[in-house]
Amino acid sequence: MEYSEKVMDHFMNPRNVGEIPNADGVGQVGNAKCGDIMKVFLKIDNDIIVDAKFQTFGCGAAVATSSMATELVRGKTVQEALQVTNRVVMEALDGLPPVKVHCSCLAEEALHAALWDYAEKKHMVIDGLKKPKADIHE
Ligand code: FES
């Protein structure tokens, strides 16, 4: 199995690891099959994601995709962040081996879970955001 240089870089030197105290949105999603867990923290000010951090208990691709996902959503509006799908994250990492695609889905779901939490706390609805699952089965 071959990993791109970018995947290796984000695995070896993950960006934005940690938690945000008093985060505006927190989302945690697990994958029931591999057992990996990802937690995303967002600081949102005036509809802009001013900070994003993550904690991932999981494989190298899970670490790399959460690192890249948090990098990509920083500075974006909530609506723009919804466009950061698992495909966008994978492309930014120059691809993932097919058996590792589910790791990028975990990053997307955890991001959506954090946005969902933000929307619930603010009593608002984010257009196009579906209620995320607590566990992925794939
Ligand atoms: Fe399951 Fe990577 S092996 S998230």
Domains of the chain, CATH where assigned: 5-122 (3.90.1010.10)
Please write the tens of the pLDDT for every residue from 37-53. Answer: 999 999 999 999 999 99
- Cβ–ligand 1 distance for 31 under 6 Å, the answer yes
Residue 55 CA to residue 28 CA, distance in Å, equals 9
CA of 99 to the centre of ligand 1 (A): 9
What's the pLDDT band for 8 if we cut at 50, 70, 90? very high
Residue-wise pLDDT for 75-87, tens only, equals 999 999 999 999 9
Q: Encoding tokens for residue 20?
A: 């945000």
Ligand 1 site-directed mutation target among 54, 56, 102, most atoms within 8 Å of CB:
102
| Angle made by CA atoms 89, 135, 37, in degrees to the nearest 5 | 60
pLDDT at site 10: 98
Name the residue with higher pLDDT: 132 or 50.
50
Query: Is pLDDT at 134 greater than 90 in this prediction?
Result: no
Question: Is the CB of 34 within 6 Å of ligand 1?
Answer: yes
Best residue for ligand 1 mutational test, from 28, 29, 31, 86 (most atoms within 8 Å of Cβ): 31
